[in-house]
Structure formats: structure tokens, C-alpha cells
Amino acid sequence: MQNRRNLLVVFITLLVIFELVAYVVTTPRPSAQFFQLYALGTNHLATDYFPNSDPNIRLGEVVPWFIGVANQMGNVQLAVIRVKLGNQTISPPNQSEAVPSPAPTITEFERFIQNNETWEIPFIWQISNATTINGSTEIVELRIGNQTFQENGLLAQNGYNYRFIIELWTWNEDSASLQFGWLSGTEHRVAWLQIWFNATSPT
């Protein structure tokens, strides 16, 4: 009788241990959900963003960057990279309230990225047309990759302090639309970058 009771205790103990192991093995562990957004310079490094490390960009001067997004959300995500052109006075995105920058969108790139996947695009740009009137420079035309984009109304004093604002937008299933940043649980997070340059030699 004592023997049987011992065996039952052993069996139940082993059952609990092995079933716990089976549970741990078959249940996916929750992990932190996030995106990474980055911009790299010519040599795929976080330096050398401008030719000869000179942020004063001349007309027609080609500036090659790489913009990338890494998906760590645990599933396939639609990522949209919005590239905006701003000057010194335009507001950047509001991180705490997840509000995008009001700067005009020049272009955007979109792709579905798998979990743990990094999507990188070459972002090769140049100022193809700009004007200067009374000390105010205006970038009129930008060339990004093979496409040309017209711009107007964005002035900078002597061409100083222009910036590219790069925002990450994702798909929100609940609203069936794009949202700035992403939802991690109930928290709204955003990722954006800005790189300053001067258009000081437009002619």
C-alpha cells in the first residue's frame, strides 16, 4: 500500500515537471515589440553623411544615404518611411504625443517586413534647383533616386539649416489606416530621424 502511494507521488511529481517543460517549449515567449529606424552615410556607417563631411550642399551634388527599418514586432508589418523636408522653424515630430511633423512630405517608401527582418533602401538625393532672393534660399527641386520632386515655399535664411525629417509610419489594423509610429501594447511609440544640411551654394 505504501509502495503504491510512493509510486503515485513520484508519478504526479514527474508529470508536473514534464508537463511544465512541455508548456514552456510549446508556448511562445512574449518579447518586446519595437521597430528600429536608422540612416547611414556613404560607407554604411553613422558618419560621412555628406561628401567630404561638408554639410554645405551644392546644386547637383549627389548625397548617398541608406535608410533602414528593422522589424521586431513579432509579425509581418507594413512599414512606410516618409521623407519630409523642413527648415529651422518648422516643428519636428512630437515624440510624447506621437504627432508627425507638419513639414511637407517629399516622398515615401513602403514595404511589408517580416519579423526580425531589416529593410534597407538607398536614398540618393541632390538639390537640382534652388533660388536665392534677398538672402532667403528656397529649394525648388529635389532629385531622389530617379525621381524629381518639386518643392515650394520652404525658405531658409542664407540656405542654412535645412533638414530631412524621416518618419516611420505603420499600419493600424483597428483603424485600417496608416499611423505615425506603432502601438506596443497600449503604448504609442514613434521613431523618426532628422539630418541637417545647408543649401548655401545654390548657384
HSE, side-chain direction, 13 A CA sphere, residue 184:
15
Q: Which residue has the cell 503604448?
A: 187
Does 152 bind other proteins (CB under 8 A)? Our answer is no
Does 147 bind other proteins (CB under 8 A)? Our answer is no
CB 92 within 8 A of CB 192: yes
Give the range of 3-11, 87-95, 122-130, 151-159 binding other proteins by CB under 8 A: 3-11
Query: For residues 133 and 63, what is the distance between their CA atoms, to the nearest angstrom?
Result: 25
Does 25 bind other proteins (CB under 8 A)? Our answer is yes
Query: For residues 119 and 166, what is the distance between their CA atoms, to the nearest angstrom?
Result: 15
Q: Which is nearer to other proteins, 95 or 115 (CB)?
A: 115
Within 166-185, the residues that bind other proteins by CB under 8 A are 171, 173, 176-177
CB proximity list for 38: less than 8 A, separation 6 or greater: 46, 67, 68, 69, 70, 193
Within 85-114, the residues that bind other proteins by CB under 8 A are 110-114
Does 15 bind other proteins (CB under 8 A)? Our answer is yes
Note the residues at the interface with other proteins (CB under 8 A): 3, 6-7, 10-11, 14-15, 17-19, 21-23, 25-26, 75-76, 78, 110-115, 171, 173, 176-177
